[in-house]
Amino acid sequence: MNTIIIDGLAFALPLFIIAIGGIFSERSGVTNLALEGFLGFGAFVGAAVVTAITGGAFAGHETQMFLWALLFSVIGGAVFALLHALLCVKFKANQVISGVVINILATALTTFFTSQINTALFGKPTNKFVLGVCDKFTVPGLSKIPVLGSVFTDMYYFEPVIIVVALAASYVLYKSRFGLRLRACGENPHAVDAAGGNVARIRFFAVMISGALAGLGGICFAYVISASFSPSIYAGYGFLAIAAMIFGNWKIGPTLGACLLFGLARAAGYKLAQSLGLASAFSDLFMIFPYILTLLLLMFFSKTNRAPRALGEIYDKGKR
């Protein structure tokens, strides 16, 4: 049970911060199917800049390298999200098509640039950056609590970072003036405009925040799943974050519950496969537990969800 909780949290928290990014974008009224592209490109920037290009400067200082990787992944995700913001907000493109195209573009760009960087630096045209194993820590005292102590045992360093960022994001979304206007943009953008707010600017920043948080989650996934970056490691996780966001009714608290459910289901499936001693070809079948759970939850609960009223609508200031 302890192993399931530890592994489940390591998967659920990156998924949660990616889903929060989706909440920021969609609560502002911009449909965001590009989360997978954001997290992939953000993770690529963090892995490429820190590990491949400047990794030698951090020899023996893995924790510093890890923190720089987080920072550059946030920046990379935010910059890449500019493309989605420009297409949807500035040029008023179809938001669904834009998200799909950006996901495809992110996969193509990260595959190409990863192989080119590896060829130039190491003479090996591979599409993988080796990141190394992320250090873990255990909280003394709290880790001794029965069952709940697993939450504070063998924690990755990014887990408290994600918790702090999630709390800050919650405060911004629900307690700040910017968050109030952002949520209003997803419900009634004309009212925001009448009150003196700039709908386009708010939506622009919301999409960039979405990219930044997705990039943070992407590099965390890279460290947890394979201790390396490659364009294939994040396949499907962006859409799983979208499913968690929808199941959470575009609210941060319930979305956390959905992410924890998905994370624990994945960890339990992996543990069950190990316990049964199955070959890797069969154990992969147990990794589909989160996706089956996603289908079931959306089947039974999506009818009661209410998306932001202006979600996906292109804002035209001249229309009332």
What's the CATH number where 167 sits?
Answer: 1.10.3470
Q: Is 168 a member of any domain?
A: yes
**How many structural domains are present in the chain?**
1
How far is residue 259 from each of residues 12, 32, 139, 237, 304, measured CA to CA in Å?
5, 18, 23, 11, 19
Q: Is 317 a member of any domain?
A: no
Q: Is 320 a member of any domain?
A: no
Give which of 219, 209, 237, 205 is closest to 45, Cα–Cα. Answer: 219
Q: Is 148 a member of any domain?
A: yes
% of the chain surpassing 70 pLDDT: 92
Q: Is 260 a member of any domain?
A: yes
Expressed as residue numbers, the domain containing 210 is 2-304
Q: Is 254 a member of any domain?
A: yes
Q: Is 309 a member of any domain?
A: no
Structure confidence at residue 58 (pLDDT): 59
Under 8 Å between Cβ of 173 and 23: yes
Q: Convert the pLDDT of each residue in 61-110 to its tens digit.
A: 667 788 888 999 999 999 999 999 999 999 999 999 999 999 999 999 99
Q: Is 294 a member of any domain?
A: yes
